[in-house]
Structure 1
Amino acid sequence: MRDTLRVQLWPLPTLGIALAVTAGVGLPLLDARFQSDMPSWLRTYLYSGTSDAARSVLATIAGSLVTVTALTFSLTVLTLQLASSQFSPRLLRTFTADRYVQTTLALFLATFTFALTVLRSVRSGEDGRTEFVPQVSVTAALVLTLVSLLALVLFLSHLAREIRVETMMNSVHSDADRTLHRLLPEKRDGLLTEKRETSSGDPSAGNPPAPPPPATPPEPPPNALTLPADTSGFLTHVDEAALLNTAIETDSVVLIDRHPGSSLIAGTPLGAAWPRSGEPFSPDTRTRLAEEVPEAVRTGTERTDLQDVAFGLRQLTDIAAKALSPGVNDPTTAVHALSHSSALLCEMVRRDLGPRLLRDDHQRVRVVLRRPGLSDLLGLAVDQPLRYGAGEPAVLARIAMLLREVAWCGAPGQHPPITAALARLRSVIDTGDLDATERRRLTGLTESVDEALAGRWAPGRGD
């Protein structure tokens, strides 16, 4: 729910309208109650015009703010269209989640609503009624108008910065980095090795024993119960608490074989379950698992970064692929997108990319949640730029440097996916339409990847 509201344009403006209505009704009441007792020094700073002038001011404020709000919405929609057509449709979430845009729209609509609401409380001295001008309320409307004008200038400056492709990629990178830190724990291999080394001496030295190595994820037996998805869409969220509770109460092990970001089709398997004790499931248990497990797996109409660690890479690869299209032909943007992808991949290889294991109180594995491995992530970042940029030496050179950087940051057990990607890169270089100088340079860069895999970093090989 929070993630859904975060990327919508209407929640903050709606809240602003509600607050403006409340203030527009309540503030004139306070005006009427305390206006006669107001200090004279304070009156000099408040609006002092007649009722007709107050109506004119409030009507002008309301009319101008409607125009400004329409302009703001038009510019926002134009920016969304530009981002969708020129870069990637998946970047729309970045713009709609922009708090600056949401706050600016909320301020404009709140000022408009406040001016209209206060306008109804202004009374002239006609028809025997007592003239009433809510001085504090009209002054507040004038202050809100000035703030709105300043916000409009800042909004235009912000929008001009946001539509730059470098700003977009930086926003995607920042969001993806936060997702990685939230979802992927850091590797403990180095910590475990250090503890084993320090505790290998005198056992009476007081060093704590090394923790056990991570458990190997259990694999489903041939007769495991297949669990079909009940809705179609992109897997956006897995309710881990509900899955763990179901697995414990049914004394089973549950495997969700699809990771967030995957496309699910109703009726097709999303995972499996099998009894922990080895005894066959009763019919009631089978029915319960078939009903409760799919309910804990939420789907949506689009991918989100709520639990999808690959979503940022998908957006960056979209930008690179769009930049390499014949209609855009901007290899420099593709190179910059690959640089951001390389930084994310280097952060990912320092973290645990294995399946997420949920355990019961006795530390027994009850739920296994699949996550994309390095092979999947590397293919996502490299395959499309490699295909569409096969004739661009700058793109091929950046892919080689990406593999070199990931190889340097990764552990030896992560080398096979890098080696496979390197083989694909070499095949493209060997069969591509390149001159001898370009081929020699690219061949040298691929050799630098081999050196990084061997733990060597030769200076000057990335030039």
Structure 2
Amino acid sequence: MTITRMTSDQRREALSGSLWFLPLLMTVAALLLGAALAEIRLSEDGPLSGVLYHGGAEDARRLLLGVATSTVGVFALVVGLTLVALQVAGNRYSPRLVRSFLRDRVTQVVFGLFIATFAYNAAGLYTVGAQDDYPRLAVTVGLVLLFVCIAALVFYVDRVAHSLQTHSILNTVGVAARRAIDCRPPGIGRSAGMSGLDGVPWDEPPPGAIQLLAPRSGYVQRLQMDALMQAALAEDAVVQLTPGIGGHVVAGTPLAWACPANGGVVRTESLARSVNRAITIGAGRSNYNDVAIGAIQMVDMALLSMHTFDYHTVEQSCAELGVLLGRLAGLPLGSEALTDSAGTVRVLVPGLSFEDYLELACGEIRRKGSNEPVVLLALVKQLRAAAATVSPERLGLLRTQLELVRATAQAGIKEPHDLERVLREADRVTMLIGAGRAERPAIRLAE
């Protein structure tokens, strides 16, 4: 059965990444404000006379027209700065970073401020007639908005200049990834990584299952686990998702399998609607619950930096990846099964294991920088950072990655001195991992 209808959560996800929705709301608010202020008449000798505009009606019209036209010109500059930032971020660092810039709330607010200021002053031309009894407060507010726009322009130029620096972009991506981890999406925390789910064939239907087909092609951006659990309980069914968060689905292919939990009959129409409301599918991956996309963006920055021989950016990317792995190292990871109060499995969701995250963070960088000691040393430091918080049963995965770094260095580095540096550091970290993490008193400093 095909799941149809775009849910409110899907619309919210789409609108949050648009550059027109928030400016539209601000423009409507500005027009309503102008309509309200146009009804207010203040005397020239009142308590606000010192700040009110005191020119004639014709002067007021010229003022409003001048503010409107100048705002349009400055707005063109703001748009140009934004396009430059998008181009630099996409070409220099990663095309996947463009989405982060589009979702930047400050950019949307600045756009909205300029458009709202133009609309406010342009609409004010219709309220100021030939008579000198015009809404002076409304005209004064229009002039004030011009100065607000100038201040916003200075702030925005400074922000764009700083946001294009490597450490700023990595910090933005890292904060988004850590925020996604703290949300504990499916596959992170709770019962994730249960050994009983290791052999589950996620692409194959369980016996007697009904397929729920994807209504559109795209990536799974969000999963509302409570809603999925309620849907499964309401139909006394077991719902097994084909992709997890970040997984891609093709329209008309199975998005989930549903089968009766106790031999009953599943009402597919009702269950399909509930599953549709609980799963958000979008054109691109989202940082909201998708931890892996943050790691992919950092890896992209490292790979693209190698093309320009900017190995210091590779080091920075690996350092941020080490922080991310450190956050994940002590958490349950992998496919997850949600059970009801009776212990019956109701929802099955595939997820990435710690081994998957390690390969994502190290594999492409190691292969691309196979003959560069700086890159391989950065990977060793990255693994050492992850070892500080990793659970004992995962230490073997870190040793495996270190052995891969050693093998890559021996095959790719020709200079004996450089090769010795990499091998020595890899051996040192391997010894630290083999000795285990010593239990020492530690004090965590406040941020």
TM-score by length of 1: 0.83
- Corresponding residue of 2:332: 352
Q: Distance in 2 between matches of 1:385 and 1:215?
A: 30
Q: How many residue pairs get matched?
A: 421
Q: Is residue 228–residue 294 contact of structure 1 (8 Å, CA) maintained in 2?
A: no
Structure 2: segments with no counterpart, 5+ residues: 1-10, 439-447
1:61-460 aligned at under 5 Å gives the runs 61-124=67-130, 130-183=131-184, 216-217=196-197, 219=200, 223=207, 225=209, 227=211, 229-230=213-214, 231-277=216-262, 279=263, 282=265, 293=275, 296-325=278-307, 328-456=308-436
Which deviates more, 429-438 or 377-386? 429-438
Q: Deviations over 1:186-224 (max 9, x none)?
A: 8689xxxxxxxxxxxxxxxxxxxxxxx989559579636
- Corresponding residue of 1:2: 12
Asked if 1:21 corresponds to 2:1, the answer is no
Q: Is residue 330–residue 389 contact of structure 2 (8 Å, CA) maintained in 1?
A: yes
Task: Classify 1:141/1:385 alpha carbon distance in 2 versus 1 (closer, same or farther; 3 Å).
Answer: same
The amino acid that maps onto 1:45 is V
Q: Distance in 1 between matches of 2:335 and 2:367?
A: 30
Deviation at 1:271, TM superposition (A): 4.8
Select the residue among 3, 8, 11 that pairs with 2:21: 11
Q: Distance in 2 between matches of 1:382 and 1:9?
A: 35
Structure 1: segments with no counterpart, 5+ residues: 125-129, 190-212, 459-463
Q: Deviations over 1:261-293 (max 9, x none)?
A: 11223454555445444x4x65x6578767865
Deviation at 1:103, TM superposition (A): 1.5
Percent identical pairs in the alignment equals 30
Q: Distance in 2 between matches of 1:122 and 1:290?
A: 57
Q: Distance in 1 between matches of 2:147 and 2:231?
A: 57
Q: Distance in 2 between matches of 1:132 and 1:225?
A: 75
Q: Deviations over 1:349-385 (max 9, x none)?
A: 1222133332323343211212111111111111111
Deviation at 1:317, TM superposition (A): 0.7
Q: Is residue 408–residue 452 contact of structure 1 (8 Å, CA) maintained in 2?
A: no
Q: Secondary structure at the match of 2:286?
A: coil
Q: Distance in 1 between matches of 2:269 and 2:19?
A: 41
Q: Deviations over 1:420-449 (max 9, x none)?
A: 322321221111133111111111121123
The higher relative CO (CA closer than 8 Å, separation ≥ 6) is in: 2
